[in-house]
Amino acid sequence: MRPRDYAVDANRKINWKVFLTIWPYLLEYRARIAIALACLVLSKGASVAGPFLLKDIVDGLSGENASNFLIVPVALIIAYGFARLSMILLGEIRDTVFGRVTERAMRRIGLKVFMHVHGLDLDFHLNRRTGGLSRDIERGTSGINFLMRFFVFNIAPTLIEIALVISLLFYNYGITFAAITLISVVLYVAFSMVTTDWRTRFVREAAQADSQASTISIDSLLNYETVKYFTNEDYEANRYDKSLQKWEQAKRKNRLSLLSLNTGQALIITVAMTIMMWLAAQRVTEGSMTIGDFVLINAFMMQLFIPLNFLGFVYREIKGSMANIENMFALMDLSSSVDDASNASELRITQGAISFNKVSFHYRPDRPILKNLSFNIQPGEKVAIVGASGAGKSTLVKLLFRFYDPNQGSILIDGQDINQVSQHSLRQAIGIVPQDTVLFNQSIFENIRYGNPEATDSEVLEAIKLAHLESFIAELPDGSDTIVGERGLKLSGGEKQRVAIARTILKRPPILVFDEATSSLDSKSERSILSALQEISQGHTSMVIAHRLSTIVDADRIIVMDHGAIVEQGSHDELLGHRGRYFELWTAQLREHT
């Protein structure tokens, strides 16, 4: 089940256990954490010392002490400046030292999630939503950065400062000043949290409206030609404007709710400071406090409430960050249904013989795909597998690559059960030219090198030659440096197939699989691709999944499948002579071609 999104669950409570999940990744830099915390405490000490120095400066400049200006106040002013400078420098050192800790934690966690997702089975990736998955990973790692930085640089310092200020006010001026400060802080925090929770739905509505507007605009621009064909520019503009209207209304609600939050916070601050100033002024007139004490209390209150001004924002973001981190770690909790055995060995290819023994498989129990299927492919033999759509041909490829495990039976390569060898060594031994070749948005040269990232340039050029790509590449302005576009959309089907063949040549696997490699090509492209396939498959064990029967007439053996079972097998001429299922398929395709 996909992890929940905090934006959908606005009332979700903060799970403080998230810190326990992150903590192991931070322990690598214990010394840096200790230095950052020391700088944090010293910085807050300097911050709290500032108002006391300011008090002494004011007292030194007032009344009969004013004549000593060159002795006491100047020294205090220098000390006050040093305290302010120390507070800033210690804060910068803390940020720099702790920044390395969060960045390394983000890197390690991000890499671990990336590798974990690649390790999940094919079923997960067929059902995933790529955008949502990418968002969960990105928001999760960003959430760790935000959570650590704001907790260490905002929440923790503020809590330390509140505790120091209340303690000092109680010690120097009695319980009244300390109690007023504590009550105002508690009211401020409680109001900010409650109001922020109420505001979350307006923030969510604005985000959803913004996403909807973005979706409509991108969808319309991607289908630019269709819009022009049907002269629907005004229709698209009206659709986009309606979504923008929803965004405008949502932003208005968001702005008004922010006004309520800021007004309430300002009211609490103003009332608290007014009461504190009034009490301090009374004490000054009574003579029990000096003007410097009055200034100190005012400075403390100002200093205390400035970081609290961001509490609503910080609380909302921390709540979201924790939810995002939970979503990411929930993704980490997912396990693959196809795992290496605990004692998995490396696959050793000696001849390349493949054996399917009584293999049964289903994606759903009520819809069997393969039924007690058995066949062998001898070393160096080229075996074609044919049948109508839904017969289970491509499922054989997925089972051979161990994207899924059979429900019953076993698959052996040179006598080794593929369930008992590592998936990496298994897939390393098999090369495939798929029906739909997907390329990375890089150059043709680098896409071919993907077959063997360690290959030299000369080896890549040799693969290009063997795949008959030289003449095509020579016609391109940028040659092999031509960027193929996302998923290779700048190349035709035949050109992509040749790149796939070159990749496989570069990989040099002992076993080759061709999964309907020419099904989407025209006759001319098909002939040239078939020629290349015949060249690279010589001396290799080959399994060919074919739709066009004309492409596999030279196969050593043809296996005919129907509804997950083998109904015939033999050479092309033998099967035509039997006038069975293969003969029917051949005749039907011949009639279509004619």
Domains in the chain, please, with CATH? 18-333 (1.20.1560.10), 354-593 (3.40.50.300)
How much of the chain, in percent, has pLDDT values that exceed 70?
85
User: In the prediction, which pLDDT does 3 show?
Assistant: 39
Per-residue pLDDT band for 7 (boundaries 50, 70, 90) equals very low
Per-residue pLDDT band for 547 (boundaries 50, 70, 90) equals confident
- What's the whole-number mean pLDDT along residues 100-105? 79
The token duo for 312 is 């609503």
Using DSSP bridges, classify how beta strands 430-433 and 408-413 pair: parallel, antiparallel or unpaired. Answer: unpaired
- What's the whole-number mean pLDDT along residues 101-123? 79
Report how far residue 74's alpha carbon sits from residue 265's, in angstroms, rounded to the nearest whole number. 38
Q: At 370, phi and psi to the nearest 5?
A: -120, 140
Beta sheet of 557-562, edge-to-edge order: 430-433, 511-515, 541-545, 382-387, 557-562, 565-570
pLDDT reading at 527 higher than 80:
no
User: In the prediction, which pLDDT does 522 show?
Assistant: 59
DSSP-based three-state secondary structure for 413: strand
Q: How far is CA 453 from CA 213, 233, 358, 448, in A?
A: 42, 47, 37, 9
Positive/negative CA dihedral, 533, 538, 539, 541: positive
- What's the whole-number mean pLDDT along residues 229-236? 86
- What's the whole-number mean pLDDT along residues 84-103? 80
Q: Tokens 């070749």 map to which residue?
A: 437
DSSP-based three-state secondary structure for 3: coil
Q: What is the pLDDT of residues 237-291, one digit of tens each?
A: 998 898 888 888 888 888 888 888 888 888 888 888 888 888 888 888 887 888 8
DSSP-based three-state secondary structure for 538: coil
User: In the prediction, which pLDDT does 170 show?
Assistant: 85
Q: How far is CA 97 from CA 88, 91, 153, 562, in A?
A: 14, 10, 12, 66
Q: What is the pLDDT of residues 353-392, one digit of tens each?
A: 999 999 999 888 888 889 889 999 999 888 999 888 777 8
- Could you give the angle at the alpha carbon of 127 between the alpha carbons of 126 and 128, nearest 5°? 100
DSSP-based three-state secondary structure for 32: helix
Please give the residue that has the higher pLDDT: either 186 or 97: 186
Per-residue pLDDT band for 8 (boundaries 50, 70, 90) equals very low
Average pLDDT over all residues of the chain: 79
The residues, any chain, with a CB within 8 Å of residue 494's CB and separated by 6 or more, are: 521, 522, 525, 526, 528, 529
User: In the prediction, which pLDDT does 355 show?
Assistant: 92
CB atoms within 10 A of CB 234: 8
Please give the residue that has the higher pLDDT: either 381 or 138: 381
Q: Helices 291-308 and 175-222: crossing angle, nearest 10°?
A: 30
pLDDT reading at 473 higher than 80:
yes
The token duo for 398 is 């997925």
Of the segments 109-118, 457-466, 524-533, which one has the largest average pLDDT value? 457-466
Q: How far is CA 136 from CA 16, 141, 209, 335, in A?
A: 19, 9, 20, 17
Report how far residue 551's alpha carbon sits from residue 374's, in angstroms, rounded to the nearest whole number. 24
Of the segments 308-312, 446-450, 515-519, which one has the largest average pLDDT value? 446-450
How much of the chain, in percent, has pLDDT values that exceed 90?
6
The residues, any chain, with a CB within 8 Å of residue 27's CB and separated by 6 or more, are: none
User: In the prediction, which pLDDT does 360 show?
Assistant: 92
User: In the prediction, which pLDDT does 558 show?
Assistant: 92
Report how far residue 233's alpha carbon sits from residue 227's, in angstroms, rounded to the nearest whole number. 6
Q: What is the pLDDT of residues 143-197, one digit of tens each?
A: 777 777 777 666 777 777 788 888 888 888 888 888 988 898 889 888 888 887 7
